[in-house]
Amino acid sequence: MSGPQRGVPAEEIRASEGKLDVDVLAVHRHAFREAGDPGEGAENGPWWFWAAAVAALVFGGWYMGRYSGVFTGEGSVHAPEVGPRGAAGAAVPPVDGAAVFSGHCAACHQATGLGLPGVFPPLAGSEFVNGDPGRLARLVLRGLTGPVTVARATYNGAMPAWADQLQDGEVAAVLTYVRSHFGNSAGPIAADAVAAARTATASRTSPWTAGELR
């Protein structure tokens, strides 16, 4: 061999000089001693990582099936059922009596419940509001006309009937609201009591007078 060979030990080169057949493996044995390039990204993860991943998948599937309602047909198992149930068995959300009052009553009786002197009677301290709940339900459902005395003041006007605009739950909610606000401290009125008053006065076609209600 006629020139220096880079990377080959000198003793192997001398041993190979003068030979017709060169031992290729002997010449390149030094190169074979070197380790191969590392293969990044092909290592297996630790066993605890895979165990944790499997446990997370199992728990996630159980949680979604138990609490999301996707697999059970329920809207949400976290939300409690509040209020009565509808005809189809679905829970009916509670009615906000304050919202009903604001939308249907406050224009006349005012947001304070004090009414307008000489025009609309007050709800605060009213014997109708704090009195018999059945009478109050009948008044709201079928309306009132003619003179009426409330809190020792006389008013002569008309109150519209709300039977066709408000459902039993809405009437019960707004009456419960006014009986517990504006300084009043009367008990609540249930939707069943309003339904009974609606049925009992179903044939009524004209508003009540104060004398009839008293």
3-state secondary structure of 111: coil
Q: Which residues pair with residue 91 across a beta bridge?
A: 85
Residue 9: inside a domain, yes or no?
no
pLDDT for 13 equals 52
The rounded mean pLDDT for the chain is 78
Residue 41 lies in a domain: no
**Counting beta carbons within 10 angstroms of the beta carbon of residue 189, is it exposed (0 to 12), middle (13 to 18) or buried (19 or more)?**
buried
Residue 63: its pLDDT value, please? 67
Residues pairing with 157 in the sheet: 146
* pLDDT in the model for residue 83: 47
Q: Please indicate, yes or no, if residue 185 is contained in any of the structural domains.
A: yes
**194 found inside a domain:** yes
In a domain, 171, yes or no: yes
Residue 7 counted as domain residue: no
Give the C-alpha separation, 208 to 60, whole Å: 62
Buried b (16+ CB within 10 A) or exposed e, 23-55: eeeebeeeeeeeeeeeeeeeeeeeeeeeeeeee
Q: What is the CATH number of the domain that holds 138?
A: 1.10.760.10
Among 13-27, 51-65, 152-166, name the one with the lowest average pLDDT.
Answer: 13-27
The arithmetic mean of pLDDT across residues 129-149, rounded, is 94
- Residue 191 belongs to what domain range? 97-213
% of the chain surpassing 90 pLDDT? 53
Q: What is the rounded distance in angstroms from the CA atom of residue 174 to the CA atom of residue 105?
A: 9
> Given this model, what pLDDT does residue 77 score?
40
Evaluate if residue 100 carries a pLDDT over 90: yes
In a domain, 200, yes or no: yes
Total tally of structural domains belonging to the chain: 1
171-194: pLDDT as tens digits: 999 999 999 999 999 999 999 999
Q: What is the pLDDT of residue 60?
A: 76
pLDDT band at 119 (very low <50, low <70, confident <90, very high): very high
- Residue 123 within any structural domain of the chain: yes
How far apart, in whole angstroms, are the C-alpha atoms of residue 188 and residue 122? 19
> What band does 205 get if pLDDT is binned at 50, 70 and 90?
very high
Identify the DSSP state of 78. S
Q: What pLDDT does 207 receive?
A: 94
Greater pLDDT, 26 or 95? 95
Dump pLDDT digits (tens) for 30-86: 555 655 565 555 566 677 777 788 888 877 776 666 655 444 444 444 444 444 554
